[in-house]
């Protein structure tokens, strides 16, 4: 079984995922990096050329492929750590998939996320004002809650 890490941009999903994977001696996967490898473009370039709908569709396909590629292990044994893109919860199909997985939500305070975004804006967030980012965070908040494992 894979452990999926969800959370807003700059929450620290990849940092935590790499650290956990190293500590547990498991492979680490970042869905954003898989998308970039697949498209041979940065996510920002792909969204600019193909649009958000195409990006979300590709993100869903990548997530589904990850689920299909799970090795046959006992459900209690972790096989990989997966850091998901911040908006992966926006598609209902992804939420349905994630609800069936082991998921943790990395949710630092909004103030910490904002300070990280201001220091190092993600490619997709750099064009948003702070209030727009906060609105996006609030929109996604209940979606993250919907997918986390009990």
For residue 136, the domain's CATH number is: 3.40.50.300
- What is the tally of structural domains in the chain? 1
Per-residue pLDDT of the chain (150 residues; tens, 9 = 90+): 899 999 999 999 999 999 999 999 999 999 999 999 999 999 989 999 999 899 999 999 999 998 876 655 555 688 899 999 999 999 999 999 999 999 999 999 999 999 999 888 777 777 788 999 999 999 999 999 999 976
**Buried/exposed code over 74-90 (b: 16+ C-beta within 10 A; e: otherwise):** eeeeeebbbbbbbbbbb
Q: What burial class does residue 133 get, using C-beta atoms within 10 Å of its C-beta: 0-12 exposed, 13-18 middle, 19+ buried?
A: buried
> How many Å apart are CA 13 and CA 11, to the nearest integer?
6
- Predicted pLDDT at 75: 57
Handedness of CA 52, 56, 57, 61 (dihedral sign): positive
Residue range(s) defining the domain that contains residue 66: 2-147
For residue 47, give both structure tokens. Answer: 């969204």
Say what the pLDDT of residue 1 is.
Answer: 85
Structure token pair of residue 53: 């709908």
Between CA 71 and CA 79 the distance in angstroms is 8
List the beta strands (DSSP E) in the chain.
Answer: 2-6, 28-30, 80-83, 102-105
What's the maximum distance between 2 C-alpha atoms anywhere in the chain? 45
CA-to-CA distance for 49 and 55, rounded, in angstroms? 10
In this predicted structure, what is the pLDDT of residue 74?
A: 57
φ/ψ of 120, rounded to 5, equals -145, 80
- The residue written with tokens 């959370």 in the block is 7
* pTM, 2 dp: 0.91
């Amino acid at each position: 079984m894979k452990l999926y890490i969800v959370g807003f941009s700059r929450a620290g999903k990849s940092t935590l995922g790499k650290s956990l994977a190293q500590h547990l001696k498991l492979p680490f996967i970042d869905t954003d990096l898989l998308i970039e490898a697949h498209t041979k473009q940065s996510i920002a370039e792909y969204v600019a050329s193909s649009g958000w709908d195409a990006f979300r569709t590709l993100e869903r396909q990548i997530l589904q492929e990850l689920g299909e590629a799970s090795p046959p292990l006992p459900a209690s044994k972790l096989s990989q750590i997966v850091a998901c893109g911040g908006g992966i919860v926006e598609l209902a199909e992804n939420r349905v998939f994630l609800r069936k997985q082991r998921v943790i939500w990395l949710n630092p305070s909004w103030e910490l996320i904002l300070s990280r975004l201001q220091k190092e804006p993600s490619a997709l967030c750099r064009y948003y004002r702070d209030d727009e980012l906060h609105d996006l965070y609030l929109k996604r908040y209940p979606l993250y809650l919907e997918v986390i494992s009990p």
